[in-house]
Structures are given as C-alpha cells and as structure tokens.
Chain A
Amino acid sequence: MTHSSKAFYWMAIPALLLFVTLHTVPALTGVFFSLTDYAGYGTWTFIGLENYFSLFKDDRILSSYSFTFLFAITTTIIVNVLALGIAMLLNAKIKFQTAFRGIFFIPNVLAILIIGYVFNFIFSNSLPLLGQWAGIDWLSTSILANKDLAWLGIVAVSAWQSIAFSVILYLAGLQTIPADLYEAADLDGAGYWRQFRSITFPMIGAFFTINMVLALKGFLQAFDQIVALTGGGPGTSTESVAMVIFRGGFQGGEYGYQMANSVVYLLVIVAVSVIQLRTLQRKEVDF
C-alpha cells in the first residue's frame, strides 16, 4: 500500500463511519420497525408485511401520493422553464450582471419555512384585498382556504424559492458553452430560437438532467412549505406523503405503519430518480 493511498483511507473511513452510524443504521432500524406494530413507545410485536398490505388499502395514503406527484411534477416543470429563462437573461451581456445574479439568488438563502409564513400572510390577507378591489371572485378569499386552489399556492411558493438554485446551475452550464459556436451559427444565419434549440439546450443537457432530478426529488419530499402554508388543509387536500408520515407516525401513534410508508416512498423516489436519470442522460450530447 503506498503512502498516498493510506491517506485516502484515513480520510474516507471516518466519513464512512459517520455516514453509517448517522444514516444507514437509523434507516435500517426504521425498516425493521416497519415490520412491527410499534406505536413509537411502549411494547410492540412483529407483524411481518401486514403494514405494507394495509398501505395499499389506505385511501389517505394514496391521495397523498397523488397530491405529491401532481405538486412535484408541476413545480419541477415551472421551476426548470423559468430558471432556464432567467439564467439566459442573466448570462446575457447586461449592465449590473453580478448584482442581478446576487438578487436572484436571495430566495434560496431564506429558509422555506419563513418564506412560507410570509406568503401565507400574502395569500390570506393581501391578495384577497387585491381581489376584492379588482372584483375577481376567486381571488377575494384566501386561495389557501380553497381546496381546489390551495395546491397552486404551494407550487408558487416552492417555485419562487427553488428557482434561484436552478438558475445557478444553469448559469454554470451556460458558461461552459464556447462562444465560437454562436459566432459560427451567426455566420450561417441561424436565428435566436434555432441557436437555442441546436446549441444552447444540447450543450447544457447534463445540467438540465441534474436540475430535473434534483428538483423532482426535492419536491417529492415537500414538507416545510406545506406546514407553513396550509398545514395540509383545507381538509386533507394538500397533505404530502412526508406530512402523512410525520403526522401518522409521530403524532398519530402509528410509527410502525408510517415506517412502512417511508420505506415504500424511499423506493418510489429512488426508482423515479433512476428512471429520470436514464431517460434524460440518453438525450444528452457527448462531446
């Protein structure tokens, strides 16, 4: 063993140990408890896969999955379209470019919980005033109190916050494109749209993939913003999977059952991410 490879082990092993004790062991404990009827306290018995069978019969769980996917897919699309647009604007030769970039990054620095409460106030108080003044009916009451519109409020806040991070990634991507490609395209008479389609987008394919995967994975785990905005309401119309797990597992005394839900959800998220990576990577250009 060479001296340098020893050093690698010395650096990697503590991190590995930390990861195993703080992540893998708790995760496996959770998997174990998903096979019990543990309430989170007191005694428990081993019940095999019963929790998993019950999951698929539980309409509250199923509706939380459909809400979460609807929310996550919508938000991912909105975030990526807008982030790419903003990134291209910020990459253009404009005055105060750095200042603009800084300003657009601010939402990402703020905690989503705080943003959630601020927007909660805006949706519940300011927007209804605006709606009443303009005579728009659906805007005259808080959209968070409307079970058909509340999820859009959550989409808006989540998008507002996470666009900033995607913009940074896209900006990094845009800067890797050599300028001479555009010069050549200009000489050949390619228009702006044509340049975007044939140069910009293919060249940042890897960044598009990572943005899509990160965004979808993040939104599938949505929790904080929903707590701050609707608390899962009105009714149970905006309960995300993470929220059902927290409520049922920690507040409802169904720890074992919700651990089963978590295990299933973990697998779902891993599967979605892998599928997404594969399909998107196939479309990336290699150069």
Chain B
Amino acid sequence: MFQLKHWRARALSAALAAVLLTSCAGPPAGNVVTLSFFQFKPEAVQEFAGLIDEFEAANPGIRVLQNNVPDPDTAIRTLLVKNKTPDVLTLNGNASFGLLAKACVFADLSQEPSAQEVLPAVQDILNANGRCRDSEINGLPMANNASGILYNPEIFAKYGVSVPQTWDGLIAAAETFKANGVAPFYMTLKDAWTTSPALVNLAAQLQPEGFFDRLRAAGTDRNNSPVSFSKDYQEVADKLLQLFTYAQPGAAGVDYASGNKAFADGKSAMYLNGSFAVPAIRAANPEAKIATFPYPVTNNPANTTVVSGVDVTLAMGRETPHRAEAQKFIDFLLSKEVIDRYAKNQSAFAPTRSAAPQQDPALQGMASYFTSGKLDGYMDHQLPPSIPLVNITQQFVLDGDKARYLNTLDNEWFKIAARMPKRGDQ
C-alpha cells in the first residue's frame, strides 16, 4: 500500500476526468478488440506502455488502453459504482483489493495456466486479504515488495557495525551510531504511513498465531474476545516506540520524499522502509549506498521473516466481454521474461517459480527469505480500511501513550464489527 499514499493533492474529479478522457480516446477500427487496462502505479506507466507495445505487435487483433489515475484505490471504486469495471487491472494487493475481491467484482483466475506458476506462499498472502466465496483466485501476483530495514553499508563499515541478527543487536547498532553522532534512523513522521513498515514487521513476528482469525471470530463481543490489541500487542507497541525514540530532531515535520533524499545522501545509517523505497531513493541520488536486512524483531534469528505484499496484482473484470483477449494479456504479463524484466526495473521481487532471483545488490539481504518462503503478510491488510491505522500509529509514535493507542485500535475494530454485523468479518 505504500506507493499509493501520495494521493493527497489529487482531487477525485481530476481522477475521474482522466479516466473518462482516456477511455474515450478514439474508437477501435474494424475487428480490433480494445481492452481497458487500469494500471495503478504512476511510476510504472512507461514500463507498461513498453509492454503494451510489445503485446500489441504480437497480437494485431487486440488493442490495450492503459489508464493511470492518481489515488487508484478510490478511482477503481468510482468505476465500480458506475459498473465500468475495466477488462484488466493492476492493483496493489492490499486490504482494499481484498474487499473488492470479496465483493466478487473480479473474475476467477484459478484455471489460468499462469496461476500454477505462482509461489504458493505469495498466493496465500494475497488470498488471505479476501476473495470471492473464499475459494476463488481473484488476483495473480506480478511483483512483490518486501519490507525490511534499509541501511548504508559504508556507514556500517565505518563504525565496524555488522548487520544485526537479533533485536538486541539492532538496538546495540542504533546506540553505536547515536554515540558517534550519526543518526541511527531517518524518520519521516509527517507522512503517517511511514510508521507502518516497522509496525507490520513487529506485528508479523510478535502477534500470536492466528490473531486476526480469532479476532474476527470474536465478532462484536469485545469483552469475551480471546485476543485483542490491548492484550497481545503490548510488545509490538513497546518495540515500535523504542525504535522511534531514535528519530532525528524535527522528524515530525519531515516527509517521505525528504527522508529518501536524506538517506540517499548518507544522513542516517538505517531507514525503516522497504524494497519499494529503493527506486525512489535512487531517483533522489543515483549514487546512494543501499543494502537491506529483514527486521530482527526477536532475539532468535530463526524467527525472522520478511513481510511481503503483492505490489502489483493482476485481476480481470468479472463480466468482461473480452475474456479470451484479457486472458492472453494477463498470460503475457506473467510470462517469465516480462516478470523478470519488471522485477529488475522496478526493484521488485518476482512471485513465480521460474523467475530469476533478484540480482539487485540493494535487495540481496532479503532475497533468500523470499526464495525459501519465510514470508509474512502485511498486518494492516487484515484491518478494514475504514480504520485509520497509520494515523492512529503516527499519533502513538508522537505522544507515546501506549494504553490509549491499543485501546483505540480495539475500539475501532469492535466498533466496525458492530456496525457491520453482516460483514463483520471484513
């Protein structure tokens, strides 16, 4: 979900206008089938334009119209309200996607040949967010991100710090940098969502087994729920706060873009983010020194996992009149060659069995977790999007009031369960 938080300036009307304009662009001639292709990533427009050219050259009977709009999660809903589901879509595989899939607006892709190619651990993460009738496969992963700690290997080498394997090691490293006058982390608290990479990693490894399933099963009954944030997130909250005590002065007023620039320029040893930030950091400074390691959340390195989400999910409109053509396009996008190239260009992890391992040195630290399937999903994808999780977390990191933070989360969760009894499981 991290890339698509830059929605702020974009008025909804502009998004709609863009969709309308692009989808009206010239009627197709003769027997050419035109697929409307909703592509959510602004930074990948060029990439997809190139892929579409290739696809169209190989399939003269099909034209693909790429629509890219700001604030895609909102834009896709407005299209759905008007019953204008695109033929083919890419979306971030987040909670919002899960809700849409659950509402059965996407086609079942489980019979697609390319569905057999997907790494099972990745498909599970995507399916866990929600799917139609709890049995279909409504989205196929095209690229994955991985949330981990970015670090500057030059600064690590300069102070003789090795990559931390344990939580204590991480704190010791932070202390070493602090003692030497180097900012251990560069925090960007102005953008609320930048508190969530740390949160989701802590939660993934520290929350009890099946936490969200049990929480959902409790329904609206807060008092008798076997699990709750107040009970089971104490350590998550403590450790989150501990990390954020290392924020540089003035962190509350720094935004993500400035943070990328600062880390790129070597102003901090570490950066609590993920693979998705790598292209942005390189854009800020092509010479940036970046390497990564997974969050060591406990003192047992064997527990360490990488939190990964499906960055680009391919889906198909359920009622598309051009199913065969749409399938062809999806199969093309999931071909080994395209997946490998996309992963390389966008600093992503390829979610298919046959794909080449990620070669980018910045992502090497997390690559082995990916291939061995030591993956967890994003905890925030399990929460209804109407809970303003990142804002509540930002508030907590700023004021440090743990009891209130966990109570707010419980309160929001059960409140929403209560007002949507029929959909309390969302």
A239 contacts across to B, CB distance below 8 A = 388
Q: How far is the CB of A120 from chain B (nearest CB, A)?
A: 9
Q: Which residues of B contact A57 (CB under 8 A)?
A: 415, 418
- Which chain A residue shows the least CB distance to B412? A60
* CB-based contact B419/A257 at 8 Å: yes
**Residue on B nearest A256 in the bound complex, by CB:** B420
Q: Give CA–CA (A145, B73) in the complex, Å.
A: 26
Chain A nearest CB from B125 CB (Å) reads 20
Bound state CA distance, A123 and B421, in angstroms?
A: 43
Residues of B within 8 A of A41 (CB): 77, 80-81, 100, 103, 105
Chain A residues whose C-beta falls within 8 Å of the C-beta of B423 in the assembled complex: 37, 39
Whether B105 pairs with A231 at a CB distance below 8 angstroms is no
- Give the chain A neighbours of B394 by CB distance below 8 A: 233-235
A51 part of interface (Cβ distance < 8 Å): yes
Asked if A217 CB lies within 8 Å of chain B CBs, one says no
B115 → A minimal CB distance (Å): 23
Asked if A205 CB lies within 8 Å of chain B CBs, one says no
Residues of A within 8 A of B9 (CB): 113, 117, 227-228
Report the tally of A-B residue pairs with Cβ distances under 8 A. 128
Evaluate contact between A234 and B78: CB separation under 8 angstroms: no
- Asked if A39 and B99 sit within 8 Å, CB to CB, the answer is yes
Minimum CB distance partner of B426 in chain A: A253
Knowing A39-B103, A231-B192, A253-B426, the reply to whether A51 touches B419 (Cβ < 8 A) is yes
Residue of B nearest to A146 (CB): B252
- List residues of A (220-276) whose CB comes within 8 Å of B's CBs: 224, 227-228, 231-237, 239, 246-248, 250-254, 257
CB distance from A25 to the nearest CB of B (A): 15
**Chain A: interface size category:** 35 or more
Question: Which of A58, A252, A257 has its CB near the most chain B CB atoms (within 10 A)?
Answer: A252
Contacts of B192 in A (CB 8 A): 231, 233-235
Question: Once the chains are docked, how many angstroms separate the CA of A40 from the CA of B73?
Answer: 12
B398 in contact with A236 (CB, 8 Å):
no
Q: Chain A's nearest CB lies how many Å from the CB of B103?
A: 3
Known contacts A51-B419, A141-B253; is-contact A231 B8 (Cβ 8 Å): yes
**Chain B residues, CB < 8 A from A51:** 419
- The answer to whether B8 and A248 touch across the interface, beta carbons within 8 angstroms, is no
Chain B 394-422 per-residue mask, 1 if CB under 8 angstroms from chain A, else 0 = 11101100000000000110011011101
* Closest-CB distance, A259 to chain B (whole angstroms): 12
Which residues of chain A have C-beta atoms less than 8 A from B73's C-beta?
251
A23 CB → nearest B CB, Å: 16
Interface residue? B208 (CB, 8 A)? no
Question: What per-residue 1/0 map shows which CB atoms of B1-27 lie under 8 Å from chain A?
Answer: 000000011011000000000000000
A38 to chain B, nearest CB (A): 9
A147 & B399 in contact (Cβ 8 Å cutoff): yes
Cα A51 to Cα B421 in complex, Å, equals 11
Query: Does A4 make an interface contact (CB < 8 A)?
Result: no
Question: Quick one: CB contact mask for B366-394 with A, threshold 8 Å, 1 for yes?
Answer: 00000000000000000011111001101
A252 touches B395 (CB 8 A): no
Considering the complex, give the chain B residue whose CB is closest to the CB of A229: B8
A26-72: which residues lie under 8 A (CB-CB) from chain B?
37, 39-43, 45, 47, 50-51, 54, 57-60
Contact B190 A42 (CB under 8 A): no
A251 and B74 within 8 A (CB): yes
Q: A57-B415, A145-B253, A235-B395 are in contact. Are A227 and B190 (CB under 8 A)?
A: no
Q: Complex formed: what's the CA distance from A233 to B194 in Å? A: 13
Q: How many Å lie between the Cα of A253 and that of B104 in the bound state? A: 14
Q: A236–B388 Cα gap in the complex (Å)? A: 8
Tell me the smallest distance from the CB of A131 to a CB of chain B, in Å: 11
**A144 contacts the other chain (CB 8 A):** yes
Name B49-97 residues within 8 Å CB distance of A: 73-74, 77-78, 80-81, 96
Contacts of A195 in B (CB 8 A): none
- In the docked arrangement, what's the CA distance between A145 and B252, Å? 5
Asked whether, in the complex, the Cβ of A40 is within 8 Å of the Cβ of B81, the reply is: yes
Point out the residues of chain B lying under 8 angstroms from A254, CB to CB. Answer: 386, 416, 420
Closest Cβ–Cβ distance, residue A231 to chain B (whole Å):
6
Asked whether B422 lies within 8 Å of A45 as measured between CB atoms, the reply is: yes
Contacts of A252 in B (CB 8 A): 384-387
**Given the known A-B contacts A37-B422, A54-B418, are A251 and B11 also in contact in the complex, defined by CB atoms under 8 Å?**
no
Q: Does A91 touch B at the CB level, under 8 Å?
A: no
Complex-state Cα separation, A117 to B257, whole angstroms: 15
Which B-chain residue is minimally distant from A246 (CB atoms)?
B12
How distant is B80 from chain A, measured CB to nearest CB, in Å? 4
Nearest residue (CB) in A for B386 is: A252
* Cα-based distance from A108 to B16 in the complex (angstroms): 26
CB-based contact B415/A142 at 8 Å: no
CB of B250 within 8 Å of the partner chain: yes
Find B250's partner among A39, A45, A54, A141 (CB 8 Å cutoff).
A141
Interface check B240, CB cutoff 8 A: no
| A124 at the binding interface (Cβ < 8 Å) | yes
Residues of A within 8 A of B384 (CB): 252-253
Please pick, from B99, B388, B399, the residue contacting A253 in the complex, using a CB distance under 8 A.
B99
**What are 22 A-B residue pairs whose CB atoms fall within 8 Å in the complex?**
A39-B423, A41-B77, A41-B81, A41-B100, A41-B105, A42-B102, A42-B104, A51-B419, A58-B415, A113-B9, A113-B11, A128-B250, A145-B398, A233-B391, A235-B396, A239-B388, A250-B78, A251-B73, A251-B96, A253-B77, A253-B384, A253-B385
Give me the interface of A with B, judged by CB distance under 8 Å: 37, 39-43, 45, 47, 50-51, 54, 57-60, 113, 117, 124-125, 128, 140-142, 144-147, 224, 227-228, 231-237, 239, 246-248, 250-254, 257
Q: Given A41-B103, A42-B80, A250-B78, 12 more contacts at CB 8 Å?
A: A37-B423, A42-B104, A50-B419, A144-B253, A146-B252, A147-B399, A231-B8, A233-B395, A234-B192, A250-B74, A251-B385, A253-B385
